[in-house]
Structure 1
Amino acid sequence: MVLSMPRPQLRTGSHTYRLRRRVPVDLVAVVGRQEVTLSLKTKDPAEAKRLMAEELVKLEARWATLRRGPQTLSEREAHEIAGAVHDAWLTRHADEPSAQTFWPVEVGARVFTRPPLDASKSAVGMICDVPDLGRLMGLEQWCCEGADRALQERGLLVDEDGRRKLARAVGAAVQRASLTLQRMARGEMPDGYALSPAPAPIRAPAAQPSAPPAGTQQKEAAPVRGKAARVTLTGLVEGWWAEAEKTGKSASTRESYTNTMRGFVAFLKHDDASRVTAEDVIAYKDHRLRSVGRGGKPISPQTVKNSDLAGLKSVFGWAVANRRLPANPATGISVMKVARTQTRDKWFTDEEATRILRAALQHQQGEELPETSAAKRWVPWLMAFTGARVGELVQLRKQDLRRVEVDGHPGGTWVLTITPEAGTVKTKKLREVPLHPQLVELGFPEFVSGVRRERLFLVPDQTGGITGPLQGVKNRLAEFGREQVSDPGVAPNHGWRHRFSVLATDLGFGDKVTNALCGWSAKSVAERYGGVTLKARADAINRLAWVKV
């Protein structure tokens, strides 16, 4: 029997080929997913076959590494891996070396030399000033995260000792590069480094022609000489995402940056990245500030700054770091800060909250999808009693609700799991939020058990993606909320998170418990230690008053 080999695939609506491969059953738990997808970044079928063969070899090697388990890493190997971090750091800040302020060399020289946390103040003072301790710990954590990224990029699995060695090597590499940048800021060029125009973009190696089928003749293509590889704007986004996806960037960020670049290409009337100038970016910024959105309202300066310009800066910055472009044309271009007039609090009043929840309770399905109707019925109530982001709730799956035993709560407690596995979570961290008794009384667990599909409130697209459908349901919920509360001073979805925070403060939850429930990052190093038990979360949620509708 002839076994079929995996072939490059085209996603619906796309002309770029991708690799799609099932993860071996014995590695699903380790990899964390059942399928691997990877853009091959080409529209040519022959090139896609060649690239796929290369990626499959890398993938099999990665899986073989995982099966072997964690390996040891010598200090020499750690410093060899960290060498790439040194070069990337130097390249990133070479044009403006004095602008590098993230890594202070005075503190960086003492990374991984601090005493244990339980050491006396005098012992800490021998290494660093006590106020610098938090900064020192932050840099160490950053080095550990950098080590993890380097290992992931190389498909390596090492033991904890090896990871620690690599984190130290990353710190040493960035310290050396930062010292070099200090000298460059004074005009002292290191040996072998000169101020000169950035090198031309690195050309991809020519594809090896695949063997023609038996019995056919293949014409020899005439070589193209004297032409550099053309760098397209749309190609830059795809290249950026191929790397950004591995570092945990969300699909919604990809969609935002892709839409920005698509609009930029339409504005320029060409797709040649090498022709883009700073004047082009400024003209596009001005164009966007004069534009109106789908709802007929002007595009806000905040959207132009945080979406359009942020997308261009990120993608062009990646292109410069990867030698695709000599300079970032969006550098230094921004939008003036808007002085917003706030005429009311950002949270719903009791009367507004009750109005929305009553409308949700009474909502009847019309011509909309059943999932959209269910979202209008349940998501406002979930936002009221969890403090979760609207997108985190819309993307919930059936398996994300379970009943667990919690001390002090007889009969068990229903718990929502908000996890990156379901879609986009801003902090990229799983968190568990106990269900309020009123939600149980209203029948939310029964609703979940009666859902036949995996998703509770949306229908994935034909490829299984949820980014587009998720945004659509969020928009419908915003419209639903705005029908009940017309005041533009409060956001129809985000007003619930503000309200939850206010109630948590009034009831004395404490910052740590509120952060754990809402998914907010710790504000200090001290808050990163320890955690908040499920019992503490359930105790807090149960203190929220029932809403009389």
Structure 2
Amino acid sequence: MVLAMSRPSRHPKTGIFWLRKRVPSDVVARVGRAIEYFSLQTRDPGEAKKRHAEALARLEARWAELRRGEPAAGPGATTDASPSPRSLSEREAGERAGWMYAHWLRLHRENPSQQRFWPTDLYRHLWRSPGGRIEHHEDGRASVRAALGFAEAEKVAELEAWCRDQAETVLSLHDVEADETSAVRVAKAIAAQVQRASLSLAALAHGEPDAAPATARTPTPSVKPAKAIGLIELVEAWWREAERTGKSESTRESYTNTVKQLVAFLKHDEAHRVTVDDVRRFKDYRLATRKPNGQLLSPTTVKNSDLAALKSVFGWGVANGRLIDNPAIDVTVARVSKVRLREREFTAEEARRLLKAASGLERGKELPQTHAAKRWIPWVLAFTGARVGEIAQLRRQDLRWVEVEGYSEGVWVLRITPEAGRVKTKQAREVPLHPQLIEMGFPNFVAGATGERLFLVPDAKGGIAGPLRGLKNRLGEAARELVDDPGVSPNHSWRHRFRTVATEAGVSGNVIDAICGWSSKSVGERYGSVSLRARANAIARLPRIEI
């Protein structure tokens, strides 16, 4: 039986269990990947085993259907039968695991004391019976004392499963159909290499000389994926799957830009050649890069944008059998505490200054939509707490009049929806208009708009991503001319101010969250919903802004 005993494996950092199963060679072409790898979405070992078994059954059924769907061989034709399972000797298993020593050192060499996944003191308990020793007491009783506590035994099981996952990956990359005994031999050989490397790291962490430097490192397994893949090709393949999981177009653009910058930096486009040192050098290069305004990129941007992109794309490549390892997985940027000299929302005076300028804005040579954006968006942000992009992409049909209990004249409601463009939560929400916006004539402005979009002119293909980005920049520049304090964000500080003002007006936190599109902070808050009437009551409590 070939690798039939796969088990759920726990992620070393998140603790969430995953399924990792090598796809049988006779259906790899139809499945489109060499390894099935996905989250079981639980940290509970019992539940993970149950979900793992159910998922395996679904995979086996799917593979069986793929096999049945193959055309029958014609007369005299030969069939490509799956190769018989191979039996690997201990020497052969060791050869296929030898690369792990240098790989583990390379991952943790910069900060050896931070290698905590592999506790060297538990290595001797791997693949051994969990039995204990017999203790005799003075009263004649005998008891068995367990060799390991529950937590240690659980960790041992996790390490064994992790080594087995690595063995399955290595065997798949070598295109070896191994029997069960051989798979365990490779897993044990990998464990031995990780143990040896971890002991070296422990010595380095204590300042001891490195007895086995990794400078002349053994190359990563002397195999390559079925087809070498370029970096640009890799990010495009990642996107084809990520798009179906709900990732936004802006994420695709950001990740693609990062990969293109990496290609320009490395001066090659070969994904399998990228090393941990390459990623570290790229990180340092990005930290030294200046924005158009002359300021350095922030460490947060490099960490949450550049490194996050590389970790995701390379990680997808490993999970789908395109790469052997993820060179970005352990590269990070030290957290920098920002010096904050003020609150992040606009002060009352700053808000009045911005809104007064918006009300008195005269039309210049700019497009009518741009003028309308500068005129109305600051006011709408002040009374909705919305993100600037959510308002900038509004359409005429996104404002409607509805009947609400307790409001005899009805309520004007803005619908912020993914149908209009990007919404961070991917969920539509309705926000009643404040009476001051109605008095100022915002509904009349919407009714008189000539195009579908209130503040944008879509590009030649009907897209709004580029025009939206440009409009947000222009709004930010206009606000910066009036409030140049770097402690506030020209567009986003309205969102901070809304929560402060709403809280002072006595609006409850869950209602504020519903209006602004923030996630619930507790399980209890996820039950029930905030009615439109409750939202209208909350908006009505906000004070007018006199300019």
TM-score range relative to shorter protein: 0.5 to 0.7
Map Cα deviations across residues 335-375 of structure 1 (whole Å, 9 max, x no partner): 11011111011111110000000111111232332222211
State the partner residue of 1:453.
451
Identity across the alignment (%): 55
Give the CA deviation at 1:227: 10
Structure 2: how far apart are the matches of 1:350 and 1:433?
23
Q: Does 1:104 align with 2:43?
A: yes
Residue aligned with 2:375, SS = helix
Map Cα deviations across residues 103-130 of structure 1 (whole Å, 9 max, x no partner): 3225737999xxxxxxxxxxxxxxxxxx
Map Cα deviations across residues 114-148 of structure 1 (whole Å, 9 max, x no partner): xxxxxxxxxxxxxxxxxxxxxxxxxxxxx9xxx9x
Q: Alpha carbons of 1:201 and 1:503: their partners in 2 closer, same or farther (altered >3 Å)?
A: farther
Map Cα deviations across residues 179-205 of structure 1 (whole Å, 9 max, x no partner): x99665343689898366374499xxx
Q: Does 1:185 align with 2:142?
A: no
State the partner residue of 1:91.
20
TM-score (norm 2): 0.63
Structure 2: how far apart are the matches of 1:198 and 1:456?
58
Give the CA deviation at 1:255: 1.1
State the partner residue of 2:201.
none
CA contact (8 A) 2:226 2:322 kept: no
Q: Alpha carbons of 1:474 and 1:239: their partners in 2 closer, same or farther (altered >3 Å)?
A: same
Q: Does 1:197 align with 2:195?
A: no
CA contact (8 A) 1:395 1:470 kept: yes
Listed as ranges, the matches of 1:287-326 within 5 Å are: 287-326=285-324
State the partner residue of 2:73.
none
Map Cα deviations across residues 28-53 of structure 1 (whole Å, 9 max, x no partner): xxxxxxxxxxxxxxxxxxxxxxxxxx
State the partner residue of 1:329.
327
Residue aligned with 2:322, SS = coil
State the partner residue of 1:514.
512
State the partner residue of 1:273.
271
User: Which is greater in Rg?
Assistant: 2
State the partner residue of 1:234.
232
Residue aligned with 2:411, SS = strand
Residue aligned with 1:104, SS = coil
Listed as ranges, the matches of 1:41-120 within 5 Å are: 89-91=18-20, 103-105=42-44, 108=47
Q: Alpha carbons of 1:366 and 1:264: their partners in 2 closer, same or farther (altered >3 Å)?
A: farther
Structure 1: how far apart are the matches of 2:404 and 2:250?
35
CA contact (8 A) 1:201 1:326 kept: no
State the partner residue of 2:467.
469
Q: Alpha carbons of 1:474 and 1:227: their partners in 2 closer, same or farther (altered >3 Å)?
A: closer
Structure 2: how far apart are the matches of 1:333 and 1:529?
39
Residue aligned with 2:18, SS = helix
Residue aligned with 1:267, SS = helix
Q: Does 1:367 align with 2:365?
A: yes
Q: Alpha carbons of 1:520 and 1:196: their partners in 2 closer, same or farther (altered >3 Å)?
A: closer
Structure 1: how far apart are the matches of 2:365 and 2:424?
32
Give the CA deviation at 1:327: 0.8
Q: Does 1:356 align with 2:354?
A: yes
Q: Alpha carbons of 1:189 and 1:289: their partners in 2 closer, same or farther (altered >3 Å)?
A: closer
Listed as ranges, the matches of 1:418-497 within 5 Å are: 418-497=416-495
Structure 1: how far apart are the matches of 2:345 and 2:165?
58
Structure 2: how far apart are the matches of 1:275 and 1:509?
56
CA contact (8 A) 2:279 2:327 kept: yes
Map Cα deviations across residues 3-37 of structure 1 (whole Å, 9 max, x no partner): xxxxxxxxxxxxxxxxxxxxxxxxxxxxxxxxxxx
Residue aligned with 1:187, SS = helix
CA contact (8 A) 1:200 1:325 kept: no
TM-score (norm 1): 0.63
Q: Which residue of the other structure, out of 243, 246, 255, is the alignment partner of 1:245?
A: 243
Residue aligned with 2:329, SS = coil
Structure 1: how far apart are the matches of 2:235 and 2:154?
29
Structure 2: how far apart are the matches of 1:428 and 1:532?
18
Structure 1: how far apart are the matches of 2:420 and 2:399?
12
Q: Alpha carbons of 1:201 and 1:190: their partners in 2 closer, same or farther (altered >3 Å)?
A: closer
CA contact (8 A) 1:90 1:181 kept: no
Read off the aligned partner of 2:351 and give its amino acid letter.
Answer: A
Residue aligned with 1:298, SS = coil
Q: Alpha carbons of 1:376 and 1:182: their partners in 2 closer, same or farther (altered >3 Å)?
A: same
Read off the aligned partner of 1:108 and give its amino acid letter.
Answer: E
CA contact (8 A) 1:199 1:326 kept: no
CA contact (8 A) 1:356 1:380 kept: yes
State the partner residue of 1:387.
385
Give the CA deviation at 1:403: 0.6
State the partner residue of 1:283.
281
Structure 1: how far apart are the matches of 2:165 and 2:477?
60
CA contact (8 A) 2:354 2:479 kept: yes
Map Cα deviations across residues 261-281 of structure 1 (whole Å, 9 max, x no partner): 111111111111111111111
Residue aligned with 1:421, SS = coil
State the partner residue of 1:343.
341
Read off the aligned partner of 2:457 and give its amino acid letter.
Answer: V
- Unaligned stretches of 5+ residues in structure 2: 1-7, 12-16, 22-38, 66-152, 176-223
Map Cα deviations across residues 369-402 of structure 1 (whole Å, 9 max, x no partner): 2222211111110110000011111111111000
Q: Which residue of the other structure, out of 378, 384, 397, is the alignment partner of 1:399?
A: 397
Residue aligned with 2:170, SS = coil
State the partner residue of 1:533.
531
- Unaligned stretches of 5+ residues in structure 1: 1-82, 93-99, 113-142, 155-179, 203-225
State the partner residue of 2:114.
none
CA contact (8 A) 1:198 1:326 kept: no
Read off the aligned partner of 1:347 and give its amino acid letter.
Answer: E
Structure 1: how far apart are the matches of 2:276 and 2:41?
26
Farther-moved stretch of structure 1 (243-252 vs 352-361): 243-252
CA contact (8 A) 1:384 1:496 kept: yes
Give the CA deviation at 1:230: 3.1
Give the CA deviation at 1:519: 0.2
CA contact (8 A) 1:477 1:493 kept: yes
Structure 2: how far apart are the matches of 1:445 and 1:201?
66
